[in-house]
Each structure stands twice: as structure tokens, then as C-alpha cells.
């Protein structure tokens, strides 16, 4: 009888879930070549092919589907048993996977993630930032971080701070020869840094007046897909940018950027750390939740 590794079974489930060796490799923390080699070895041991592979896609064979259907619940029980044992650890260890988007990643990195690693150096954190909202359970993450209004209703959520706001900014030099916009529609007479969404569409700048939303399709010389790049363009004087306040707060405070249309950007939902209910979670998981709750109490407005 061959010797089988739990990680090989996890790899098969990750490939079946993601439909891609490359995406699955990221989920399980392996290189694509190492993952492919592990699955090929498992198939050789089993004497059956689990996946149909082409240059364009990966799909389960009939035997692979039966294998996944039977192994999946068994693996869930095994990982549950491992979690139960790890919950008794005195010192948290292991890996935590967190899914968020780039701006939120920047907001939580220092006060939550890096502070956690300072307290628990035997834990590793895999922080993935992406624009699309995913199913953190199906994609193998321990936690997600999103705006409160985007957290699935079946998740436990911890608000990580007060309400957030957008900020519309440009350099003082940009306005030396231009009249600053007084209302959102005035933006159509200005150069604006446009942002492309993960789905390929252009982001419509969002404002609010007397509780009613106002959306503006701005125009400008450049379209970017990441706030840090847009900030560089705005600081260079190319035009007006639309950001989460946290991304440009220091620039506003130091005078590098001037804020406009402030009254049109009311508070937004706060960020939340969210996760599924788990029986006997590992010590590393519990410690992260405890630190998030500690941070939430510290950041709660008085």
C-alpha cells in the first residue's frame, strides 16, 4: 500500500475548487511545478488519472470527481481534529490566510497584521489583496477584510475602526490656474485620474447630496487600476484623484494635496474582519481574533 500525504489530498481539492493549477498553488502555498509533480505522483500511486489537463483548462475526470466527493468530507473531519488539537497550543503556530483589497490591506497591515507577527513570531501570514469579492471559505482563507456592507450575512464580523470616507484631491499647483470644483459636475471641466475596476469597467466617482447618491463619469489623461499609482500621478500634478481618505490622509495633512468637495463625501461603512464560525479553532486563529477585537476597542470613537 502506498504512502499518501494529507497535503496531496488538500492539493487535489484546491485544484478541483479553483480549476487551475496556478491558482490552487497559491492557495496551498506551493509552486505550480511542485503542485503538478505532487498530483502526478498521487495519480501514479492511485493508478488513475484525477484530472484532464489541456493548455487552456483543468477538469476532474469521472474517477477524480468520485475521489473528491468521498475525500472532501473526510478531510474536513481530519482538519477539524487537527484544529481541536491546535486549539490547546500554548504558543500559536501555523499559517493564517487573509483575503482583502489593496486599500484595506494598507490600513490593517501595521496595526493588525504586523503587530500580530510581533506578538506571535511562530505564525506566518499570507495576505492576498484583490479587487473581486470572493467566498473565503471556498477559496481556503481563514479571514476576509471588506467594508461592512459587503460582509456575507453568515459570517462573524468585527468592525476594525470608525466609518471611512472618500477624499477628492489635487496638488495646490494644479489649482493655481484653475477654479476648484464646487459641485461634482464641475469635475467634467478638469483632468481626472480614472480608475479601472477588476471587472474591466471604469469606476464612477461616488458622491452624496442630502442622502441621495451622485455618480460622475470623469474624464482624464490616464486610467490606472491601483490607488498607489493614481496617487503618484496626482502628486505629479497631472490632475484630480479620488481615493479612500486613508490613502492620502498624510498628503492632505502636510499640504502636498488639497482636498475638495469635502461636503459631498459623507461617512462610509467601516472595514470589518470576518470569518466563519469554527469549533475549536487553532490557537493562531483565536489569537488573531482577540487582537482584532482589541484593535476595534482601541479605534472605537469615543
Q: What is the DSSP string of 182-219?
A: SSGGGGGGS-BEEEB-TTSPBPPEEEEETTEEEEE---
pLDDT, mean over the chain = 89
Q: Are strands 156-159 and 271-275 parallel, antiparallel or unpaired?
A: antiparallel
DSSP category for residue 237: T
DSSP 54-90: -SS-EEE-HHHHHHHHHHHHHHHHHHHHHHHHHTT-S
pLDDT bin (cut points 50, 70, 90) of residue 253 is very high
Residue 163 cell numbers, joined: 466609518
Residue 72, Cβ neighbours under 10 Å: how many?
Answer: 14
pTM of the model: 0.70
Contact 14, 27 (CB under 8 A): yes
CATH 1.20.120.550 fits 6-86, yes or no: no
pLDDT confidence tier of residue 113, bands split at 50, 70 and 90: very high
Residue 207 has pLDDT above 90, yes or no: yes
DSSP string covering 4-34:
--HHHHHHHHHHHHHS-HHHHHHHHT--HHH
94-163+269-299 — its CATH code?
Answer: 3.40.190.10
The SS3 of residue 250 is: helix
Give CA–CA dist 159/107, Å, rounded: 13
Q: Would you list the domain boundaries of the chain? A: 6-86, 94-163+269-299, 166-264
In the predicted model, is pLDDT for residue 2 greater than 70?
no
Topology at the third CATH level for domain 166-264: D-Maltodextrin-Binding Protein; domain 2 (3.40.190)
- pLDDT higher than threshold 90 for residue 159: yes
94-163+269-299 matches 6-86 in CATH topology: no
Cβ–Cβ contacts within 10 Å for residue 272, how many?
23
Share of the chain above pLDDT 90, in %: 54
Give the confidence band of 300 by pLDDT, cuts at 50, 70, 90.
Answer: low
Q: What is the DSSP letter of 122?
A: T
Cα distance between residue 150 and residue 152, in whole Å? 6
CA 24 vs. chain centroid, Å, equals: 17
Give pLDDT, residue 302: 46
Residue 183 has pLDDT above 70, yes or no: yes
Q: Looking at residue 197, what is its pLDDT?
A: 86
Amino acid at each position: 500500500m502506498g504512502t499518501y500525504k494529507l497535503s496531496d489530498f488538500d492539493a487535489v481539492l484546491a485544484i478541483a475548487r479553483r480549476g487551475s493549477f496556478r491558482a490552487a498553488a497559491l492557495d496551498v502555498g506551493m509552486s505550480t511545478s511542485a503542485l503538478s509533480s505532487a498530483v502526478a505522483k498521487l495519480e501514479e500511486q492511485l493508478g488513475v488519472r484525477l484530472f484532464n489537463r489541456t493548455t487552456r483548462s483543468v477538469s476532474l475526470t469521472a474517477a477524480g470527481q468520485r475521489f473528491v466527493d468521498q475525500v472532501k468530507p473526510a478531510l474536513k473531519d481530519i482538519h477539524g481534529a487537527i484544529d481541536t488539537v491546535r486549539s490547546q497550543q500554548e504558543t500559536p503556530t501555523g499559517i493564517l490566510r487573509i483575503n482583502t483589497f489593496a486599500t484595506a490591506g494598507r490600513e490593517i497591515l501595521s496595526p493588525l497584521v504586523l503587530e500580530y507577527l510581533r506578538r506571535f513570531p511562530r505564525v506566518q501570514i499570507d495576505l492576498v489583496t484583490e479587487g473581486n469579492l470572493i467566498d473565503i471559505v471556498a477559496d481556503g482563507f481563514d479571514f476576509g477584510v471588506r467594508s461592512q456592507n459587503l460582509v456575507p450575512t453568515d459570517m462573524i464580523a468585527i468592525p476594525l475602526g470608525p466609518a471611512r470616507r472618500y477624499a477628492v484631491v489635487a496638488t495646490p499647483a494644479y489649482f493655481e490656474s484653475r477654479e476648484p470644483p464646487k459641485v461634482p459636475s464641475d469635475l467634467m471641466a478638469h483632468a481626472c485620474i480614472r480608475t479601472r475596476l477588476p471587472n474591466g469597467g471604469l469606476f464612477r466617482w461616488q458622491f452624496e447630496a442630502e442622502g441621495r447618491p451622485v455618480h460622475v463619469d470623469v474624464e482624464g489623461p490616464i486610467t490606472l487600476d491601483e490607488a498607489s499609482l493614481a496617487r503618484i500621478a496626482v502628486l505629479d500634478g497631472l490632475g484630480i484623484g479620488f481615493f479612500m481618505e486613508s490613502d492620502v490622509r498624510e498628503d492632505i495633512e502636510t499640504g502636498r494635496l488639497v482636498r475638495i468637495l469635502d461636503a459631498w463625501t459623507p461617512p462610509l461603512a467601516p472595514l470589518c474582519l470576518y470569518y466563519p464560525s469554527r469549533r475549536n479553532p487553532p490557537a493562531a486563529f483565536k489569537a488573531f481574533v482577540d487582537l482584532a477585537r482589541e484593535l476595534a476597542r482601541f479605534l472605537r470613537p469615543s
